[in-house]
Structure 1
Amino acid sequence: MKLHSGNDEEETLLQGINKYRTSLNLTALTKNENAECLAYEFADQFKNQPCTNSTGANTVSGSEPQLPNYPNLLAECHLNISNTKGGNIMPACVPGLTPSLVLSNFTQSQYSESLNDTKYTGVGIGSEGNWIVVVLSTSTPDGSYVTDNSASLLSKISFTYYLLFSLMGALVMF
């Protein structure tokens, strides 16, 4: 799993979202490192897309950009679809990532409905270029973004077999 240190835009957005939620008498969101990993993976995928009226918070529901490599993004963070389907991925494109505009893109758009929802307890934020992505997680199994240990174990087993195969090939040559 790729770990990123939070940057100013992300920290400022998290503080703003939590102030927003507190003003609505909702609990503050806590950082979820696995959701943050996925947020960075999404931001990285979007970074070369221009900001338009059909991207980010302005997107008409149902017309969001589709990522055919979603399973690969989950694998990068050792996540499984079964523990992410209850979460919410919200990308926004804001030229220069101006903090006040970034916050309003989440609190004064279709995304505010999700930010107002008490089922969300955690958050991961990632940014690349003009894109910032908020991933909301829940405390339930289907939205917890817990690490999929079986994927991690499978990659370790595959790597072990690869090493053994390589070693056997080297021994045959001698």
Structure 2
Amino acid sequence: SFGSEAMASLLRPLLLFVLLHAVLLLSNPVNCYDDEDFLLDAINSYRSLVPNLKNLTKNQKAACLANVLADELEDRLYSSTKGPKLWPGIEAQASNYSQLLKKCEIKIENTTEGVILPIPNSIATMELTNYKHSQYLRYVNNSNYTSAGIATEDDWTVVILCTNTSGGNFSSAVRVVGLVHMVGGMTHYLLLYVVLGLCVLIW
């Protein structure tokens, strides 16, 4: 009928707009290259020159904890005579370490084989890019570390190196976050199929 044809003609531009918007969202994810990415790339560039060392991948849980620790360290003084302090896993010097882990839903037993490196920003670039003279060299050179989480604040940079074992992967008991992301991704594609179906019906 004339009414249905008129309605279809009105819906076509709207559906086309929605379809194009969905395609753009799926095909062009936002790329954010920040200080953390730059630092991870710098570390991986060095590791690529060392035999039997693989690139570190991003560890989202460790990155979350690194961000929490960097916030915790803000405004704390640093003594250059003592040098940066290392926080190897469960022996972290933060008195409220277990509470900080809970903010990122990390089990404490999944941190014992990792290492936390808090670095004052005044020396961060020098320490982590001038590897031949860096006290962090033995950690960067360690093939046991397969992923990393990095966070930077005004005063501190925190680098967490993780293993691929349960004792150092900084994971949680239930990967709810991963499931949410997977369902969210499926929802985007389901929406795209629905819009395509409506376009076929109207045309």
TM-score by length of 2: 0.61
Contact 2:85 2:118 in 1 (8 A): no
Query: CA separation in 1, counterparts of 2:141 and 2:173?
Result: 28
Residue in structure 1 matching 2:162, options 137, 144, 151: 137
Paired amino acid for 1:14: L
Query: CA separation in 2, counterparts of 1:22 and 1:14?
Result: 12
TM-score by length of 1: 0.71
Query: CA separation in 2, counterparts of 1:47 and 1:123?
Result: 21
Contact 1:46 1:131 in 2 (8 A): yes
Paired amino acid for 1:123: A
Counterpart residue number, 1:171: none
Alignment of 1:9 with 2:48, yes or no, is: no
Query: CA separation in 1, counterparts of 2:99 and 2:130?
Result: 28
Contact 2:127 2:136 in 1 (8 A): no
1:7 to partner: Cα distance: 6.0
Residue in structure 2 matching 1:124, options 143, 149, 152: 149
Counterpart residue number, 2:60: 33
TM-superposition CA deviations, 1:61-86 (whole Å, max 9, x none): 69x98210000111001011111111
Paired amino acid for 2:48: T
Alignment identity in percent?
A: 35
Which consecutive unaligned segments of at least 5 residues does structure 2 have?
1-30, 178-203
Residue in structure 1 matching 2:121, options 94, 98, 121: 94
Counterpart residue number, 1:49: 76
Q: Report 1:37-116 matches (<5 A).
A: 37-53=64-80, 58-59=83-84, 66-95=93-122, 100-101=125-126, 103-104=128-129, 108-116=133-141
Contact 1:125 1:134 in 2 (8 A): yes
TM-superposition CA deviations, 1:14-52 (whole Å, max 9, x none): 010000111113100000000101111111111111332
Counterpart residue number, 1:159: none
Query: CA separation in 1, counterparts of 2:50 and 2:117?
Result: 20
Which is higher, the Rg of structure 1 or of structure 2? 2
Indicate the RMSD between aligned Cα atoms, in angstroms: 2.9
Counterpart residue number, 2:6: none
1:107 to partner: Cα distance: 6.2
Q: Do the aligned partners of residues 65 and 33 (structure 1) sit closer, same or farther apart at CA in structure 2, a change above 3 Å counting?
A: closer
TM-superposition CA deviations, 1:104-154 (whole Å, max 9, x none): 37663221101100000000001111200110111111001112339x9xx
Paired amino acid for 1:118: S
Contact 2:128 2:136 in 1 (8 A): no
Work out the number of aligned pairs and report it. 142
Which consecutive unaligned segments of at least 5 residues does structure 1 have?
153-174
1:60 to partner: Cα distance: 6.4
1:102 to partner: Cα distance: 5.3
Where does structure 1 differ by over 4 angstroms across 4 or more consecutive aligned residues? Answer: none
